[in-house]
Structure 1
Amino acid sequence: MNVQRASLSQGVVFSASVVVFNPDHTQLRQTLASFGVACEHLRASVPNASIALFLIDNGGLGDVSDTVVRLAAQGVACRVLTGHGNVGYGRGHNLAIEQMQSDLHLILNPDIDLDADALVAGCSFLDSHPDAGLLTPWIGDDAGAQQYLCRRYPTLVDLLARGFLPAAVRNSLFATRLARYEMRDLIDGASVVWDPPIVSGCFMLFRTAVLKRLGGFDPRYFLYFEDYDLSLRSHDIARVVYVPASRVIHHGGGASRKGSAHIRMFAASACKFFNRFGWRLW
């Protein structure tokens, strides 16, 4: 397969998008601060790199002028997209995807802390592996332990057990099957893994040409499973790769811990996903 590649030796035009809705402002500032530092390291590695950030306000963003100024001092041109209302996670990112002109584009959650060299490691890997079109990093939790967010194709039982069962029941009755679903046999802190079927939308580093060909996220998902959908479609035109040299911390939580509205959105999106790609119960 042929995908366009950016050459770090010639500089790279790098863009990123972050969608927020009533964000935790302390966490958002922390995420953008870590992103700014990672961009400084990228610019040190690639002195003529051009970097842009799209901050998409689905509601409740507030005044971020200080953040915009700080990012500008770090070499990041920040553009705030606002006034469109809460259009959902995927459609929010699509507002940026439709406008950006870059070599590489990062889909980033507002609850991610980037290692200082996360972007350098990710961009360097893509530069040296032209078949790779989508990269996912090593992802840790609040305590620094590894999260297993690369996935094999889910069954309905996998989703229910992982998302909604008490930990004691989950760990005693479903540990083996969930370990397989989470690819614990392959995903570690050292080995590059090619072609994991599904990767997390909290950090998706794309070649922009691949993302454009895919048309971004499917807008039919308001929240949840849009990353599953986009991951599976990505395999049609490029290779997907897990690269643990690129490292981030993820502070997010599951739908079941966010209340009944999120559980309903999770169920609705799961139905859309399985209707499109095929139901697997067990």
Structure 2
Amino acid sequence: MNATSAPCSELEGLSVSVVTYRPDRAQLATTFASLGHACEALRATRTGLPVHLYLVDNGGLPDVRAALDDLRAQGLSTSILSGHGNVGYGRGHNLAIERATGRYHLVLNPDIDLDRDSLLRAFEFFEAHPDAGLLTPWIGDEAGHQQFLCRRYPTLLDLFVRGFLPASLRGLFGRRLARYEMRDLINERDICWDPPIVSGCFMLFRMSVLEKLHGFDTRYFLYFEDYDLSLRAHDVTRVAYTPAVRVLHHGGGAARKGSAHVRMFMASAYKFFNRFGWKWL
């Protein structure tokens, strides 16, 4: 044991849930590899910290046995939850959350690459700020440019412009989108407290907060479940954007994924605004 390490109990553990539906095997393997390296860095300072990955198979899971074997060799335990069909994103994560033990839970997309020190920095932040219950990181794209995925409360126009207009026309709404994406507050250096909405691609919770929230609202099949959960989280805890925690995101918008995703996006938007209030312009 090195001088900075400390033994950890089961109650201090980390669980991770990844929900997949016909995932890209190479990207999923890359995500798992980055998770393994991040957990190695975390466990180097927290001897015996238990980490458990729940891989939730909503359908079409490829052979990932080699990637899971690598995680187990790095000291993680893993479970595959399958046989339930495509129950949606939030409900899939809830299947893992209801089984999870320990102090922290990470909701993670299968298209995220974690920086090696990301989980270590996240734990350090939580330990220094006991009032924080949900952490969102600095998120970059494949080229390393920052993605502005913290949000103010959206209007219908904001969602249409950002999600469906071509880039050549989005520029006409630049100031509006900058405000929606909180570009006046979100940067690579400064912690931002209590952004109204954070991205579901990486949400690190204290488990006590998730228990109070009862996880995701299962009325959303896909899209807006993270908006809903973010807004509800403010009722029970503080939310922090923490740029020292860094990840890369390989995802895309609904409009670029085809008409079925557009329909799911619109159905979930309707449920979201019906619950939290409609804002048009």
TM-score between the two structures when normalised by the length of structure 2 = 0.96
| Alpha-carbon separation, structure 1, partners of 2:59 and 2:241 | 32
| Alignment of 1:262 onto 2:276 | no
Check the 8 A contact 2:7/2:47 in 1, yes or no: no
Paired residue type of 2:262 = I
Question: Is 2:144 the counterpart of 1:144?
Answer: yes
1:72 is matched by which residue type in structure 2?
R
1:14-45 Cα deviation digits (max 9, x unpaired): 11000000001110000000001001111002
User: 2: CA distance between counterparts of 1:116 and 1:47?
Assistant: 17
- CA distance in structure 1 between the aligned counterparts of 2:43 and 2:194, rounded to whole angstroms: 29
Q: Does structure 1 residue 204 correspond to structure 2 residue 203?
A: yes
| CA shift for structure 1 position 10 | 5.6
Counterparts of residues 99-110 of structure 1 (less than 5 Å): 99-110=99-110
In structure 2, the partner of 1:5 is none
Partner SS for 1:45 = coil
Structure 2 gap ranges (5+): none
Q: Pairwise mapping of residues 102-181 of structure 1 onto structure 2 (< 5 A)?
A: 102-171=102-171, 173-181=172-180
Counterpart in the other structure of 1:64: 64
Alpha-carbon distance in 2 for matches of 1:170, 1:68 = 41
The unaligned stretches of length 5 or more in structure 1 are: 1-7
| Cα deviation 1:47-104 (Å, max 9, x = unaligned) | 1211100000000113222222111111110110010000000000000011111100
Per the normalisation by structure 1, the TM-score is: 0.96
Runs of 4+ in 1 over 6 A off after TM superposition: none
Q: CA RMSD in A?
A: 0.9
Per-residue deviation, 1:123: 1.1
- Residues 190-229 of structure 1: matches in 2 within 5 Å? 190-229=189-228
Task: Look up the equivalent residue of 1:260 and give its one-letter code.
Answer: S
CA shift in 2, pair 1:9/1:239, >3 Å: farther
Matches of 1:144 and 1:228 in 2, distance apart?
Answer: 24
Tell me, in whole angstroms, the C-alpha distance in 2 between the residues paired with 1:27 and 1:212. Answer: 30
Identical aligned pairs, as a percentage? 65
Contact 2:23 2:62 in 1 (8 A): no
1:237 paired with 2:236, answer: yes
